Amino acid sequence: MKYVNNNPFLSQVCAKLRERRPLISNNYNIRIESVNDAPFVNLWFRTRGCRHDHLGGCTMCNYDASPPVSAAEMIEFVRQGLASLDWNDRMMLLVSPSGSMFDEWEVPAQAREGIFRLVRDVRCRTFVCETRFDTLTEHLIRQYADLFDDRETCIEMGLESANPWILKYCINKSLSLDKFQLIIALLKKHRVVSVANVMLGSAFLSAHEAIQDTVQSVQWALSQGVDRCVLFPAHVKKWTLLEWLWERDLYSPPSLWALVEVLVRLGPHLVPKVTISWYKNYHRESERLDPIQSMIYLCSPTTCAECRTKVIGLLDQFRNTSDFRIIQELANFDCDCKRRWKTQLDQIESQPLKERVAQFYEIIGCGVLGLDWWEKHGDDALKIVPV
């Protein structure tokens, strides 16, 4: 895979913020929840980390980095994780590295094929793996489909936004939507279920802009033939640009009411193809994560203390059933915090997004890379932002 990075400013900033990030040592983590009334097992295994992360990475992501890991070690980590599980034929299983299963820079072919052989021998109804869609080829998709021809197979991919400008200047992802369309067609051709992850709450977007972008991105992805979309409201994680902005009151995670609003706008015809994830802080609720991992999430999407438990409970029910009536119940839910959020949502930004991003870049450049750096390179950094 040829790696392309077309926002060197954000990459340099994100790399600077991660300079002192500690390496992790835990070999695998497991989280189990219920989706569509079936167990959904997430098994993460240690690699050296995401390729994009090593070069700076996304403004919101921190999936960690590790000392070097051999292919044999990766296979053994997954073997140990699988051995710890109680299996049944209704289980859905996701096995994931820190970044992309099909990127041989992170997961060598020997490791990927060994892991797939392990999974082929266990009882589960559905198998899912995650990868950047630009790591896929028809050859790899065909191999994957042929290996698991006895069960439903899925590939989950980070789309984040269907707006190329937001991808490049707010998220720091250089992805071709034409390539995405091609990969969706190839997955469909080989009967592999396609899952697109869509973000809510990118850096620099207002609450209104964030909701609008998420709704439009889901609509676009489904119109291209994506089988399912997963909505991910942003959290503030350590060693990210979102953390730096949040510490200076320049960013807040989206309200859970924003997530509800997205689902309301998508409506009963599209919502059955949409699920939600990471709408709460799983790290704090898990006992199987090491101390470094448990400190990653600093601020999460929420409502007020009065209604949070009820709202999270209803979102849990929706994740488990995909029943739009639960979203309707949330839409009709009344709370002071919801009314305050609605008032903020109706506020109009005084400047266009592109002008605001240019101003943010100056603040970030001076604050993260230094005033001297900005005086020398600031003009070049701003030139990449077409205002």
Asked whether the predicted pLDDT for residue 220 surpasses 90, the reply is yes
Q: Answer whether residue 1 is part of any domain.
A: no
Mean pLDDT for 139-160 is 94
* Confidence (pLDDT) at 294: 38
Mean pLDDT for 130-142 is 96
Structure tokens that stand for 207 in this block? 């609450």
The rounded distance, in Å, linking the Cα atoms of 184 and 181 is 5
Q: Answer whether residue 3 is part of any domain.
A: no
Mean pLDDT for 341-357 is 91
The rounded distance, in Å, linking the Cα atoms of 220 and 340 is 30
Q: Answer whether residue 2 is part of any domain.
A: no
* Confidence (pLDDT) at 290: 44
* Confidence (pLDDT) at 383: 82
Shared domain for 229 and 377, answered yes or no, is: no
Mean pLDDT for 376-380 is 92
Shared domain for 33 and 52, answered yes or no, is: yes
Shared domain for 235 and 365, answered yes or no, is: no
Asked whether the predicted pLDDT for residue 194 surpasses 70, the reply is yes
Structure tokens that stand for 14 in this block? 């994100």
What is the CATH number for 88? 3.20.20.70
Shared domain for 94 and 154, answered yes or no, is: yes
Shared domain for 365 and 236, answered yes or no, is: no
Which one, of 141, 127, 211, 217, lies nearest residue 175 by Cα?
Answer: 217
Counting every residue, how long is the chain? 387
* Confidence (pLDDT) at 102: 98
Q: Answer whether residue 153 is part of any domain.
A: yes
Shared domain for 161 and 192, answered yes or no, is: yes
Shared domain for 317 and 387, answered yes or no, is: no
Per-residue pLDDT of 268-313, as tens digits, reads 999 999 999 999 876 544 444 444 443 467 899 999 999 999 999 9
Q: How far apart are the first and last CA of the chain?
A: 32
Per-residue pLDDT of 90-121, as tens digits, reads 899 999 998 999 999 999 999 999 999 999 99
| Full-model pTM | 0.94
Asked whether the predicted pLDDT for residue 375 surpasses 90, the reply is yes
Q: Answer whether residue 175 is part of any domain.
A: yes
Three-class secondary structure assignment of the chain: CCCCCCCHHHHHHHHHHCCCCCCCCCCEEEEEEEECCEEEEEEEECCCECHHHHCCCCCCCCCCECCCCCHHHHHHHHHHHHHCCCCCCCCEEEEECCCCCCCCCCCCHHHHHHHHHHHHCCCCCEEEEECCHHHCCHHHHHHHHHHCCCCEEEEEEEEECCCHHHHHHHHCCCCCHHHHHHHHHHHHHCCCEEEEEEEECCCCCCHHHHHHHHHHHHHHHHHCCCCEEEEEECCEECCCHHHHHHHCCCCCCCCHHHHHHHHHHHHHHHHHHEEECCCCCHHHHCCCCCHHHHCCEEECCCCCCCCHHHHHHHHHHHHHHCCHHHHHHHHCCCCHHHHHHHHHHCCCCCCCHHHHHHHHHHHHHHHHHCHHHHHHHHHHHHHCCCC
Boundaries of domain holding 162 = 8-348
% of the chain at pLDDT higher than 90: 79
Shared domain for 162 and 148, answered yes or no, is: yes
Q: Quick one: angle between helices 109-120 and 138-147, nearest 10?
A: 30
Shared domain for 78 and 226, answered yes or no, is: yes
- Average pLDDT of the residues of the chain: 92
Per-residue pLDDT of 25-42, as tens digits, reads 889 999 888 887 888 999
Q: Answer whether residue 256 is part of any domain.
A: yes
* Confidence (pLDDT) at 26: 87
Q: Quick one: angle between helices 336-345 and 256-270, nearest 10?
A: 80
Shared domain for 255 and 359, answered yes or no, is: no
Shared domain for 307 and 384, answered yes or no, is: no
Shared domain for 56 and 198, answered yes or no, is: yes
Q: Confidence band (pLDDT; 50, 70, 90) for 70?
A: very high
Q: Answer whether residue 186 is part of any domain.
A: yes
Q: Answer whether residue 274 is part of any domain.
A: yes
* Confidence (pLDDT) at 24: 85
* Confidence (pLDDT) at 285: 46
The dihedrals phi and psi of 107, each to the nearest 5 degrees, come to -120, 100
Asked whether the predicted pLDDT for residue 6 surpasses 90, the reply is no
How many domains does one find in the chain? Answer: 2
Q: Within a 10 A sphere around the Cβ of 268, how many other Cβ atoms?
A: 13
The dihedrals phi and psi of 221, each to the nearest 5 degrees, come to -60, -45
Per-residue pLDDT of 227-241, as tens digits, reads 999 999 999 999 999
